[in-house]
Structure 1
Amino acid sequence: MQYQSVNSYLPHKTPMIMIDKVHLVNNKQSICSVKVTKDGILSPFLNRDNQLPNFFAIELMAQTIGVWNGYHDTKKNHSPQLGMLLGGRAIKTTLPAFTLNSELIITANLVLFDAKLANFDCNITINQQCVASGKLNVYEPDQSELAQLFGSQRLGGL
């Protein structure tokens, strides 16, 4: 199946889009990828050694979940909505950083979905080896909740 570009599914703007490609989205799963390169979308976040610190794994997982949600929104003719990461459990990484030229495959598997709250079991692999994993809890606030959190003036700029 042919998917749209990542920015079609996320409400983010550059440089905060950290995923290059959508490989699969269905009712239970989203698989995306990004390559760590000096001139790629992750370049603003690389350390002095041109590596991506491992704490970015959580954001990559969250954006893969965002792609899942945005894909389903577009199928309903809705624009992608802002989601919130509530927290994570059992977040593990086996590397201190993701090295230059590594291709990160990010998978988010739906565990629970209840209206605006969801839980996903996520992992990141390099060369089919799991290098990061965790369970992320996410929430999609409605417009009144966003207004309460950010103020009604700010909503147009999100």
Structure 2
Amino acid sequence: MSQYLPPAEYLPHDAPMLLLAEVISVTEDSAHCQVAIGAESVLAPFINAQGELPGWYTLELMAQTIGVWSGWHRRQQGQQRISLGMVLGARELICAAGSLPAGATLDIQVNLLMHDERVGSFDCTICAEGDLLATGRVNTFQPTQDELTILFNQGSTA
């Protein structure tokens, strides 16, 4: 039995966009999540005809694991409300095979490089059974509630 809540408790995502199945660990400067690639997994809507997950999902898997890290820390500080974070960009994001293999259980690991109240940078890896499948550095931004209100109300008119 895991000491961690399901990923949905830390992230502002619902199915089908919740791409993580389990939180394995969270520390002061890292998080580790897992998800399986298969017809019965949360990734089922996104796998191709060969049962693989296209490589472009690696960024979102990394970003959601960072979100778990952030959400877990917020809960530790007594904040129950889930906050929306944003990916500023990724550097050296590599998924050498171009896809993630059918039937694999993915281990997504993020390690904090730098963080202040609003900006973070994480080294990220995705492995399966000890094989390194994807790497990258992901930079994130935590907008204020006022900034989110402005952002999401830009298109609305009175």
> How high is the TM-score relative to the length of structure 2?
0.93
Counterpart position of 2:143? 141
Once the 2 structures are TM-superposed, how far is the Cα of residue 51 of structure 1 from its aligned partner?
1.1
How many pairs are equivalent?
Answer: 154
Asked if structure 2 preserves the Cα contact closer than 8 Å seen for 1:50 and 1:99, the reply is: yes
Distance 1:152 1:115 in 2: 25
Match of 2:65 in 1: 64
* Whole-angstrom distance in 2 between the partners of 1:81 and 1:40: 25
Per-residue CA distance 1:48-91 (angstroms, 9 max, x = gap): 22210011000000000000000011112222210100001011
Q: Is the 8 A contact 1:95 1:131 kept in 2?
A: yes
TM value normalised by structure 1: 0.93
Aligned ranges for residues 81-92 of structure 1 at < 5 Å?
Answer: 81-92=83-94
Query: Which residue in the other structure is 1:48 paired with?
Result: 49
Which amino acid in the other structure matches residue 99 of structure 1?
P
Give 1:15's aligned amino acid.
P
Alignment of 1:24-39 (within 5 A): 24-39=25-40
Q: Match for residue 15 of structure 1?
A: 16
Whichever residue aligns with residue 107 of structure 2, its letter is I
List gaps (5 residues or longer) in structure 2. none
The equivalent residue for 1:117 is 119
How far 1:3 moved relative to its partner? 0.5
Task: Name the aligned partner's letter for residue 98 of structure 1.
Answer: L
Matched residue SS, 1:69: helix
Answer yes or no: is the 8 Å Cα contact 1:38–1:100 preserved in 2: no
- CA RMSD in angstroms comes to 1.5
